[in-house]
Protein backbone atom coordinates (compact mmCIF):
# COMPACT_ATOMS: atom_id res chain seq x y z
CA UNK A 1 0.00 0.00 0.00
CA UNK A 2 1.19 3.50 -0.80
CA UNK A 3 1.76 5.67 2.26
CA UNK A 4 1.56 9.44 1.93
CA UNK A 5 3.43 11.71 4.32
CA UNK A 6 3.25 15.49 4.62
CA UNK A 7 5.53 18.01 6.24
CA UNK A 8 5.06 20.13 8.15
CA UNK A 9 1.85 19.03 9.85
CA UNK A 10 1.15 22.58 10.89
CA UNK A 11 2.24 25.93 9.55
CA UNK A 12 1.67 29.46 10.76
CA UNK A 13 2.19 32.10 8.09
CA UNK A 14 2.23 35.88 8.00
CA UNK A 15 -0.18 37.27 5.38
CA UNK A 16 1.63 38.10 2.19
CA UNK A 17 4.43 35.64 2.88
CA UNK A 18 5.00 32.40 0.97
CA UNK A 19 4.21 28.93 2.27
CA UNK A 20 5.29 25.51 1.15
CA UNK A 21 4.01 22.02 1.97
CA UNK A 22 5.84 18.82 1.11
CA UNK A 23 4.15 15.53 0.27
CA UNK A 24 6.03 12.29 -0.18
CA UNK A 25 4.73 8.94 -1.35
CA UNK A 26 6.20 5.56 -0.50
CA UNK A 27 6.07 4.56 -4.17
CA UNK A 28 6.31 6.43 -7.44
CA UNK A 29 3.05 7.99 -8.58
CA UNK A 30 4.17 8.02 -12.22
CA UNK A 31 1.80 5.88 -14.26
CA UNK A 32 2.83 4.01 -17.39
CA UNK A 33 0.65 6.43 -19.34
CA UNK A 34 3.00 9.25 -18.40
CA UNK A 35 0.65 10.93 -15.95
CA UNK A 36 1.41 11.37 -12.27
CA UNK A 37 -1.64 10.97 -10.07
CA UNK A 38 -1.03 13.39 -7.23
CA UNK A 39 -3.73 15.81 -6.11
CA UNK A 40 -3.97 18.61 -3.55
CA UNK A 41 -7.08 19.59 -1.63
CA UNK A 42 -7.91 22.35 0.84
CA UNK A 43 -10.47 21.90 3.57
CA UNK A 44 -11.38 25.30 4.94
CA UNK A 45 -12.81 25.42 8.47
CA UNK A 46 -16.32 24.01 8.56
CA UNK A 47 -16.34 23.25 4.83
CA UNK A 48 -16.01 20.29 2.53
CA UNK A 49 -12.63 19.73 0.90
CA UNK A 50 -12.06 21.40 -2.45
CA UNK A 51 -9.73 20.42 -5.26
CA UNK A 52 -6.80 22.78 -5.77
CA UNK A 53 -4.30 20.95 -7.96
CA UNK A 54 -4.62 17.82 -10.09
CA UNK A 55 -1.90 15.65 -11.60
CA UNK A 56 0.87 17.43 -9.70
CA UNK A 57 0.78 20.88 -11.22
CA UNK A 58 -2.56 21.69 -12.87
CA UNK A 59 -4.66 24.27 -11.09
CA UNK A 60 -8.32 23.39 -10.95
CA UNK A 61 -10.86 25.84 -12.34
CA UNK A 62 -11.16 28.97 -10.23
CA UNK A 63 -8.08 28.30 -8.09
CA UNK A 64 -5.98 31.47 -7.69
CA UNK A 65 -2.62 31.47 -9.43
CA UNK A 66 -0.83 32.02 -6.11
CA UNK A 67 -1.22 28.25 -5.67
CA UNK A 68 1.22 26.05 -7.56
CA UNK A 69 2.17 22.40 -7.47
CA UNK A 70 5.38 20.72 -8.49
CA UNK A 71 7.31 17.51 -8.13
CA UNK A 72 7.72 14.11 -9.65
CA UNK A 73 7.98 10.46 -8.75
CA UNK A 74 7.64 10.39 -4.98
CA UNK A 75 8.31 14.00 -3.94
CA UNK A 76 5.81 16.80 -4.37
CA UNK A 77 5.32 20.36 -3.18
CA UNK A 78 2.42 22.75 -2.90
CA UNK A 79 3.41 26.39 -2.78
CA UNK A 80 1.39 29.47 -1.96
CA UNK A 81 3.24 32.50 -3.25
CA UNK A 82 1.54 35.02 -0.96
CA UNK A 83 -0.71 33.64 1.74
CA UNK A 84 -4.05 35.33 2.26
CA UNK A 85 -6.44 35.02 5.19
CA UNK A 86 -8.82 32.89 3.11
CA UNK A 87 -6.12 30.24 2.62
CA UNK A 88 -6.38 28.94 6.18
CA UNK A 89 -7.43 25.35 6.59
CA UNK A 90 -6.04 21.86 6.21
CA UNK A 91 -4.22 20.88 3.03
CA UNK A 92 -4.22 17.25 1.93
CA UNK A 93 -2.30 15.50 -0.80
CA UNK A 94 -3.75 12.34 -2.31
CA UNK A 95 -2.62 9.63 -4.69
CA UNK A 96 -4.87 7.79 -7.12
CA UNK A 97 -2.35 5.68 -9.00
CA UNK A 98 -3.10 2.58 -6.98
CA UNK A 99 -6.77 1.65 -7.01
CA UNK A 100 -8.40 0.15 -5.15
CA UNK A 101 -6.58 2.06 -2.50
CA UNK A 102 -6.49 5.78 -2.93
CA UNK A 103 -4.72 7.36 0.00
CA UNK A 104 -4.63 10.81 1.50
CA UNK A 105 -1.77 12.37 3.37
CA UNK A 106 -2.34 13.22 7.05
CA UNK A 107 -3.00 16.87 6.28
CA UNK A 108 -1.16 20.12 6.97
CA UNK A 109 -2.96 22.73 9.02
CA UNK A 110 -2.25 26.26 7.88
CA UNK A 111 -3.17 29.27 9.95
CA UNK A 112 -2.37 32.96 9.96
CA UNK A 113 0.05 34.56 12.40
CA UNK B 1 -23.86 24.39 -11.24
CA UNK B 2 -22.36 21.01 -10.49
CA UNK B 3 -23.63 19.77 -7.15
CA UNK B 4 -23.69 16.70 -4.95
CA UNK B 5 -26.02 16.41 -1.96
CA UNK B 6 -25.68 13.59 0.54
CA UNK B 7 -28.45 12.35 2.79
CA UNK B 8 -29.38 9.40 4.93
CA UNK B 9 -26.97 9.78 7.82
CA UNK B 10 -27.99 9.28 11.40
CA UNK B 11 -27.47 7.37 14.63
CA UNK B 12 -27.32 3.61 14.30
CA UNK B 13 -26.38 0.76 16.62
CA UNK B 14 -23.32 -1.38 16.00
CA UNK B 15 -24.07 -4.28 13.69
CA UNK B 16 -26.95 -2.51 12.00
CA UNK B 17 -27.20 -1.13 8.47
CA UNK B 18 -27.63 2.29 6.91
CA UNK B 19 -27.89 3.52 3.34
CA UNK B 20 -26.55 6.89 2.28
CA UNK B 21 -27.66 8.68 -0.86
CA UNK B 22 -25.80 11.14 -3.05
CA UNK B 23 -27.95 13.16 -5.44
CA UNK B 24 -26.16 14.77 -8.36
CA UNK B 25 -27.22 17.78 -10.36
CA UNK B 26 -25.67 19.74 -13.17
CA UNK B 27 -23.94 16.75 -14.75
CA UNK B 28 -24.60 13.17 -15.84
CA UNK B 29 -23.80 10.97 -12.86
CA UNK B 30 -22.97 7.87 -14.87
CA UNK B 31 -20.44 9.68 -17.03
CA UNK B 32 -18.03 9.95 -14.09
CA UNK B 33 -16.79 7.82 -11.25
CA UNK B 34 -18.56 8.53 -7.98
CA UNK B 35 -16.59 8.15 -4.81
CA UNK B 36 -17.15 8.20 -1.09
CA UNK B 37 -14.71 9.70 1.40
CA UNK B 38 -15.18 9.85 5.15
CA UNK B 39 -13.79 11.92 7.95
CA UNK B 40 -13.92 10.72 11.52
CA UNK B 41 -14.41 13.45 14.14
CA UNK B 42 -11.28 15.55 14.37
CA UNK B 43 -9.42 13.32 11.92
CA UNK B 44 -8.22 13.43 8.33
CA UNK B 45 -9.77 12.17 5.13
CA UNK B 46 -10.17 8.47 4.38
CA UNK B 47 -11.12 7.14 0.97
CA UNK B 48 -13.96 4.62 1.26
CA UNK B 49 -14.56 3.47 -2.30
CA UNK B 50 -15.92 4.35 -5.70
CA UNK B 51 -18.02 3.17 -8.58
CA UNK B 52 -16.50 3.64 -12.01
CA UNK B 53 -18.25 5.51 -14.76
CA UNK B 54 -20.70 3.67 -16.96
CA UNK B 55 -18.27 3.74 -19.94
CA UNK B 56 -15.64 2.17 -17.67
CA UNK B 57 -17.97 -0.63 -16.68
CA UNK B 58 -19.47 0.72 -13.48
CA UNK B 59 -17.39 -1.61 -11.34
CA UNK B 60 -16.58 -0.84 -7.75
CA UNK B 61 -13.54 -0.81 -5.48
CA UNK B 62 -13.33 -0.37 -1.73
CA UNK B 63 -10.88 0.40 1.01
CA UNK B 64 -9.82 -2.65 3.00
CA UNK B 65 -11.50 -1.24 6.11
CA UNK B 66 -14.97 -1.45 4.54
CA UNK B 67 -14.62 -4.16 1.90
CA UNK B 68 -17.28 -6.83 2.31
CA UNK B 69 -19.46 -4.56 4.45
CA UNK B 70 -20.06 -1.52 2.23
CA UNK B 71 -21.54 -1.50 -1.27
CA UNK B 72 -21.69 1.40 -3.71
CA UNK B 73 -24.33 1.49 -6.41
CA UNK B 74 -25.86 4.03 -8.74
CA UNK B 75 -29.29 4.79 -10.23
CA UNK B 76 -28.51 6.81 -13.31
CA UNK B 77 -32.15 7.56 -14.06
CA UNK B 78 -32.49 9.26 -10.70
CA UNK B 79 -28.93 10.66 -10.67
CA UNK B 80 -28.37 9.12 -7.25
CA UNK B 81 -25.44 7.12 -5.96
CA UNK B 82 -25.77 5.00 -2.86
CA UNK B 83 -23.50 3.76 -0.12
CA UNK B 84 -25.01 0.72 1.56
CA UNK B 85 -23.29 0.17 4.90
CA UNK B 86 -23.82 -3.15 6.67
CA UNK B 87 -22.40 -4.57 9.89
CA UNK B 88 -21.55 -1.09 11.08
CA UNK B 89 -18.83 -0.62 13.66
CA UNK B 90 -18.19 2.22 16.06
CA UNK B 91 -15.11 3.10 14.01
CA UNK B 92 -17.36 3.84 11.03
CA UNK B 93 -18.55 6.96 12.83
CA UNK B 94 -17.70 9.83 10.48
CA UNK B 95 -18.86 12.55 8.15
CA UNK B 96 -19.38 10.89 4.78
CA UNK B 97 -18.78 12.83 1.58
CA UNK B 98 -19.55 11.79 -1.97
CA UNK B 99 -17.28 13.01 -4.74
CA UNK B 100 -17.26 13.32 -8.51
CA UNK B 101 -14.56 11.74 -10.63
CA UNK B 102 -11.27 10.12 -9.74
CA UNK B 103 -9.85 13.55 -9.08
CA UNK B 104 -12.72 14.42 -6.75
CA UNK B 105 -13.38 17.78 -8.32
CA UNK B 106 -16.82 18.15 -6.75
CA UNK B 107 -17.66 17.31 -3.14
CA UNK B 108 -20.97 17.24 -1.34
CA UNK B 109 -21.53 18.84 2.02
CA UNK B 110 -21.42 15.49 3.79
CA UNK B 111 -23.80 13.50 5.95
CA UNK B 112 -22.98 12.37 9.48
CA UNK B 113 -23.08 8.74 10.54
CA UNK B 114 -22.81 7.90 14.22
CA UNK B 115 -22.49 4.27 15.23
CA UNK B 116 -23.15 3.86 18.91
CA UNK B 117 -25.16 1.73 21.29
pLDDT over 70 (residue B6): yes
Q: B90 — phi, psi (to 5°)?
A: -60, -30
Residues of chain A whose beta carbon is less than 8 angstroms from a beta carbon of chain B are 37, 39, 41, 43, 48-51, 54-55, 60, 90, 92, 94, 96, 99-107
CA distance A60 to chain B (A): 8
Interchain CB distance below 8 Å, B97 and A99: no
Is it true that the peptide bond before A100 is cis, omega within 30 degrees of 0? Answer: yes
Cis-peptide, bond into residue A8, ω within 30° of zero:
yes
Q: Do A49 and B45 touch (CB under 8 A)?
A: yes
Q: What is the pLDDT of residue B78?
A: 96
Q: Is A87 helix (H, G, I), strand (E, B) or coil?
A: helix
Suggest the residue from B97, B103, B107 to mutate for an interface test with chain A (most A CBs closer than 10 A). Answer: B103
Which positions ≥6 away from B111 have C-beta within 8 Å?
Answer: B6, B7, B8, B9, B20, B95, B96
Nearest CA distance, A103 vs chain B (angstrom): 6
Q: Cβ-count burial of B13 within 10 angstroms (0-12 exposed, 13-18 middle, 19+ buried)?
A: exposed
B110 CB neighbours in chain A (<8 A) are: 48
Whether pLDDT at B40 is above 70: yes
C-alpha torsion B13→B19→B23→B27, nearest 10: 130
Q: Is A91 exposed, middle or buried (0-12, 13-18, 19+ CB in 10 A)?
A: buried
β-bridge mates for residue A80, sequence order? A19, A67
Output the average pLDDT for chain B: 96
- For each of chain A's 113 residues, which pLDDT tens digit applies? 899 999 999 999 999 999 999 999 999 999 999 999 999 999 999 999 999 999 999 999 999 999 999 999 999 999 999 999 999 999 999 999 876 679 999 999 999 99
Predicted local distance difference test score (pLDDT) of residue A52: 98
pLDDT at A101 (0 to 100): 75
Residue of B nearest to A100 (CA): B61
The pLDDT tens digits of the residues spanning B97-109 come to 999 999 999 999 9
Amino acid sequence: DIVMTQTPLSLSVTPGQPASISCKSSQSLLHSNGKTYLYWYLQKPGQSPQLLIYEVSNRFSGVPDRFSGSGSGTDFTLKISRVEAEDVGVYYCMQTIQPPLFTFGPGTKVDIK
Amino acid sequence: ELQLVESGGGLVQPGRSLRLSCTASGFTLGAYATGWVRQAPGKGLEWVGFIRSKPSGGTTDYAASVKGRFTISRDEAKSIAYLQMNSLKTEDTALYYCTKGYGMDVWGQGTTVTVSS
